[in-house]
Amino acid sequence: MNREYHRWYSPSLGRDMELLIFGHAGARVLVFPTSMGRFFEWEDRGMIETLGVHLESGWLQLYCVDSVDKDSWYARWKSPEDRAHHQTAYENYLTREVLPLSRQKNNNLYLIAVGASFGAYHAVNFALRHPHLVNRTIGLSGFYDISRWAEGRTDRAVYFHNPCAYIPNEHDERRLAELRRLEIILAVGRHDSLVGNNEHFSHLLWEKGIWHALRVWDGWCHDWPYWKDMLHTYIGGAK
């Protein structure tokens, strides 16, 4: 299996950033780690092994990025607005640096954004903010209301990174049409404390006519063994 390590100075973030690439061809997959996780997390946790056949067969190519959570939503010493601004800089890094690299290496136009736990927030928020770039997003055991990491603030910068806030207020038909083309899959355990937010977020999406799949699994399911099963189920297109 092709494995590549990349590191460069990011103009968007003003610091060195690292990532790992797995696979040589197929749909490009942007992989977000869990809370304050690192770019090597999915490899360490066996998620890459779970997708071994997909990667070796050239069906998928994964781009496992680093997080900046310690400087954004988990930076409690910053104002919520500053946390949100750092999140925007992170998105700029992804759109202006990581995705161009992926297109340089792989001309497949299909892009999947995926993550588990806090990584699910990143994946789904990125897809909803950039539906012209993403074709499918998969959120595993995610939470889609960022207000708890912003002390309940609703500053403009925070608002536009909070899916549970901006989706209900989206009225632009062109934008809604783009969102309705997205394949959105939300998977969560029935006994996960986050299931209520997933159901609420699903309701908000349906109210806007945004088709998606909410899959509630039996049990708690908020851990790597469950995420492996979820990933294997949904990454290839099955809903």
Mean confidence (pLDDT) of the chain: 96
Q: What is the pLDDT of residues 169-182, one digit of tens each?
A: 999 999 999 999 99
Q: What is the pLDDT of residues 88-100, one digit of tens each?
A: 999 999 999 999 9
d(CA 127, CA 130): 5
d(CA 21, CA 86): 24
Say what the pLDDT of residue 154 is: 76
What's phi and psi for 145, nearest 5 deg? -125, 105
d(CA 23, CA 4): 9
- The answer, as to whether pTM is greater than 0.85, is yes
